[in-house]
Amino acid sequence: MRTILVTCGETSGEHHAARVVSELRAIDPSCRVIALGGEELERAGAEIAFPMDRYAFMGFAEVLAGLPRILALERRIHSLLRSGSIDLFMPVDYPGLNLRLARYAHRHGVPVLYFISPQVWAWGHWRVARMRGSIDLMALILPFEEVIYRRAGIPAVFVGHPMLGEVAASPVPKEAPAADEPFSIVLFPGSRVQEVRRLLPPLLGAAKRLHGRFPRAVFKLGLAPLIDERDVQVPPAMRAYVEITRNGVGELPGAALVLAVSGTVTLQSAISGTPTVVCYRTSAFTFFVGRMLVKIPWIAMPNVLAGRAVVPELVQGAATAERIAGESTGLLGDGERYRRVSAELLALREALGEPGGAARVAGLAAGMAGGKPVRALLDPIEG
C-alpha cells in the first residue's frame, strides 16, 4: 500500500486536491492519503491528520499573527515526512508553508510532486532558484508557467486547468438582462474569514444599491466551506432578495453578473462566460508590502491571462459599495460592452488546456509513489 501526504492551505487548493484524490483512489483503491485539509478532501477519501481551518491565514500581517500555530504544524509534518512511511509528498499551492515542506521532504528522500505552482510570475521570482533540487515535478495549471520552470531546470508539465471539467460554459456570449426581467447576481466574499469580514459589507452595500436600480434582481451570496453561516449577517430588510447558498460555481451558468473577491472564483466566472467585478481588500500592512513585491498590474486571473483589463478591478479603498455598484451598473446597462466582456472571458478557456487535469495529476502521483521515473510518466502527457 502506497501512502501519499497532501497539504493544502485554503479552500480552492483543497477543492482541486480533492478531485485528484478521487481520481487517485479510482486508479488505486488501496492508496492511503494523509492530508492537511478539510471536509472536501475527507469526502474524497483522505485522512485529515491536520485540519486546514486552523491554518487558513491570508496576508503578511495575518500570517505573522498565526506563526506559532504554523510552526507547530510544520514540526508535526516534519515528523511524518522523516518517519519513512510516506511514498510521495504532494503540496498544493500555499507556498509559504509548502515550499519549506518540499525542501524538508526532499532532504529525507521523499519525492515531491508540487501541484499548482506558486505565482512566481506575479511576485517572488527569486523562489524559483530555491525550488531547484527540492521538487521532482511541478504539475502546472497555467500554460505560461511551464517555460519559467523549465528554464530554471525544474521538471514541469502543464496538465490543464482542473476547472475546465467543473464549470459549465455558455455556448455563446451572454446577453445583458433587461432591467424589467428577473436575473441573478452572485456575490463571492471570499474563502477565508478575514476576506469575508472585509468584503461582505461593501458587497451587501452594492447589492442594496443595485436592487434599487434593478428591483427584479436576486442576489446569491455564495459561502465557502470554511465560512460559518452564523458569522454572516444579512440585514433583515435585504433578506427578501439576498439568498445564502453553498452551491458555489453551480450558480454561475445562470448568473448575469458576479461580484467577487480576487481569487479562484474569478477564473471560474471567466470560464462560465459571466461578466465579473473583482474586489480586493486586505490589511494596510499587507497591501503596503504587496505593492512593493507584486510586479504585474492586475490581480484578477482573467486579466492576467488576457494581459489586459477584461474585467473591472477595485482594490483597497476603491472597493466600496458605491464603486462596486457603479461598475456593475456600467456592465449591466451597456448591452454591447456586456456581450464583449462575456465573449472575451469565454475565449480564455482555450488557453487553459483540455479537461481531465485532475486525472492527469492522479496518474503522475500514482506513478511517482510507485517509484516510476518522472521522465517515463511525462512522455504520454507531452507526446
* Residue-level pLDDT at 57: 54
Closest CA to 58 of 351, 313, 286, 247: 286
Residue 64 has pLDDT above 70, yes or no: no
Question: Do the beta carbons of residue 51 and residue 71 sit within 8 Å?
Answer: no
Identify the burial level of 221 via C-beta atoms within 10 angstroms of its C-beta, where 0-12 means exposed, 13-18 middle and 19 or more buried.
buried
Q: What is the mean pLDDT of residues 15-39?
A: 95
How far apart are the C-alpha atoms of 353 and 373, rounded to whole Å?
24
Q: Which residues of 64-88 are buried (b: 16+ CB within 10 A; e: fewer)?
A: eeeeeebeebeeebeebbeeeebbb
Any residues with CB less than 8 A from the CB of 321 and at least 6 apart, and which? Answer: 201, 202, 203, 204, 205, 206, 208, 209
Residue 378 has pLDDT above 90, yes or no: no
* Residue-level pLDDT at 263: 83
Q: Quick check: helix, strand or coil at residue 47?
A: strand
Could you tell me the pLDDT band of residue 140, with boundaries at 50, 70 and 90? very high
Could you tell me the pLDDT band of residue 51, with boundaries at 50, 70 and 90? very high
> Which grid cell sits at 256?
448575469
Closest CA to 46 of 8, 82, 11: 8
The set of long-range contacts for 67-71, using a CB threshold of 8 Å and a minimum separation of 24, is 70/97
How far apart are the C-alpha atoms of 148 and 128, rounded to whole Å?
8
> Which grid cell sits at 269?
466566472
Which of 146-155, 188-197, 211-220 shows the highest mean pLDDT?
A: 211-220
DSSP class per residue in 92-143: BS-HHHHHHHHHHHHHTT--BEEES---TTTS-TTHHHHHTTT-SEEEESST
Which of 59-73, 79-93, 282-296 shows the highest mean pLDDT?
A: 79-93
How far apart are the C-alpha atoms of 290 and 60, rounded to whole Å?
9
Listed in order, the ranges of the chain carrying CATH 3.40.50.2000 are 183-352
183-352, what's its fold? Rossmann fold (3.40.50)
> Which grid cell sits at 336?
454591447
Closest CA to 49 of 36, 63, 62: 36
- What's the start-to-end Cα distance of the chain, in Å? 30
Listed in order, the ranges of the chain carrying CATH 3.40.1190.20 are 3-161+353-382
pTM, rounded to two decimals: 0.79
* Residue-level pLDDT at 187: 97
3-161+353-382, what's its fold? UDP-N-acetylmuramoyl-L-alanine:D-glutamate ligase (3.40.1190)
Q: What is the mean pLDDT of residues 169-178?
A: 91
